[in-house]
Structure 1
Amino acid sequence: MRLIVLFKHKKHIFFDLDHTLWDFESNAEESLKEIYDDFSISKLGPSFGNFYQNFSKLNRLLWTQLEQEIITHETIRMFRFQKALSSLNVEIDKEQSIAMNLKFLDLLPNKTKLIDGCQETLEALQAKYQLHILSNGYAEVQAKKLEHSGIKGYFQHIITNDIAASRKPNVGIFNYALEKSNSQASQSLMIGDSYLADILGAKNAGWDTVHFQPSGIDTENQSTLKITKLVQLLDHL
C-alpha cells in the first residue's frame, strides 16, 4: 500500500526550477550539441556522447561543491568546460572555456523542455495554492527559462540567490522567501531534487518538504516524502 502524506494548512508551495520543473538535462543536451558543433570539438577527439556525459557528471559535482560553499559560482563559469574536456584528454585554455560557457548560458535559457507532468501539476495546484520559484540560479537566466517554457504565469514570486543574497541550503534564502511571500514556515512546502539544497535547507528553516527523485527512490534520508513523478504531488495536496 502506498503511503499518503497529506500536507494540511499549506498555503504556499515553493518549487526548485532546474531538474524539478524545467528539464535541465534535456535542455542542456541540446545546448551542448550546438557547442560541440560550433566549437568543432569533434576535431579534438571526443564523441558528443562522451563530451555530454563528462560535462553532465562534472557539472553536478561542481554545483554540489557550490552548495557546500567549497567553490564559487564564478569558478563554475570559468572552468567547467575546461575541466570537462581535460577529463577526456583535451586541453583548452581558460579563455576558450569562458567562451564556451558564455555560449552555453546564451543557448540554455531559451530551451523549452519541461519535466513530465509539470504543466498538469502546476495547473491543478494553482487553483488552491500560491506557487513560487525558489532557485539557486540567477534571476535573469531563470526568468528566461520560465518565459520560454511557458510556465512563468503560474508563479507569484521568483526568488533566486542573487535577489535573496543567500543560496540554498542557507536558512537566509528560506527566510527571505517567507518575508517576500508573506508566509510562515508552517504554511510553506518546498519541492526539489537536491537533498542538500532543497530538502535539508528547507527542513533547517522549519519547512515541510517533498524530495523529487525521478530516477528512483533511494532508501536513505527517510525524513521526507519522496516522489518519482510530479503528478504524484496531487495525491498529497
Structure 2
Amino acid sequence: MGRLLLKLFFAVALPVVLVAVWWAASDGSKDPFWPPLRTILDTFPDVWTADRLRTDVVPSLLRLLGGYATAAVAGVALGTVIGSYRRVRAVCEPVLEFLRAVPPPVLVPVIMLFAGIGDTMKIVVIASGCVWPILLNTVEGVRAVDSVMLETARSYGVTGAARLRHLVLRSASPQIFAGLRQALSIGIILMVISEMFAANNGIGFTVVQFQRSFAIPDMWTGILVLGLLGFLLSVVFRLVERRVLGWYHGLRDTTRRS
C-alpha cells in the first residue's frame, strides 16, 4: 500500500507543481495572448460541451486510431520480414533511411494531391509518420532474437506460423512496444497538423479557428484538451503494455531482485 501511494505521489507531484507555477505566473496577466489560467479553466466547460466533444474530439480520435492501426500492422509486418532476412534488409535499408529522413508534415501537400482533403488524407498522414518507429524497432527486435532459441525451435520442428508467433514476435515484442509507444506521440502531433491543413472538424481545426477569431482563452482550452488526450492515451497504452508484456516485466523484476 505504501509503495502504491509513493508511485501515485510521484505521478501527480510534477503536474501539480507545473499547474501551480502556471497559475501563479499568469495570475493578473493583462496580455491578451497569455490569459490567466483561471480564465482558461472558467472557459473550458463552456467551450468543450458534449456536442463539441462529439463533433470534434471523436472524429480526431477515429482518425488517430485509423492511422495508428494502419501503421502498426504495416510496421510490424514489414519489420518482421526485413529483420528476418539479411538480403531483404540489405536491399531495403538505404530506401528506409531515405524515407525516414523526410519529415511527415512535408508530405501533407503531396498526400493531399492523391488522397484529397477528406479523412483518408489525414489517416495516411498519421500512418506515414507512425510507421517508422514501429518498423525500425520491429526490425531490430527480430534481429535480436536469440540464435540458440531459433536453432532449438528448428530442431523441435517448430516452424512457420508457430515459430513466428511463439518465438520471433514474442521475443521482439518489448522492442515492438517501444516503437508503438513512440508512434503514439507522433500520431497525436500529425493528427493535429493534418487537421490544421484541411478539415471542417477535429481538435486541430478547432484550435486554428479559435486562433483566427482571436478567441484566445478558447484556443488555450483546445491545447489543454490535446494535453489531456495525450495523457489518457498514454495511460491506456501503458495498461495494455503491462498486460501483454506481463511475462517480460515479471522476468525483469525477478532478475533485478536476484
TM-score for both structures, normalised by structure 2 = 0.24
TM-score for both structures, normalised by structure 1 = 0.26
Tell me which structure has the larger Cα radius of gyration: 2
Whose strand fraction is larger, Structure 1's or Structure 2's?
1
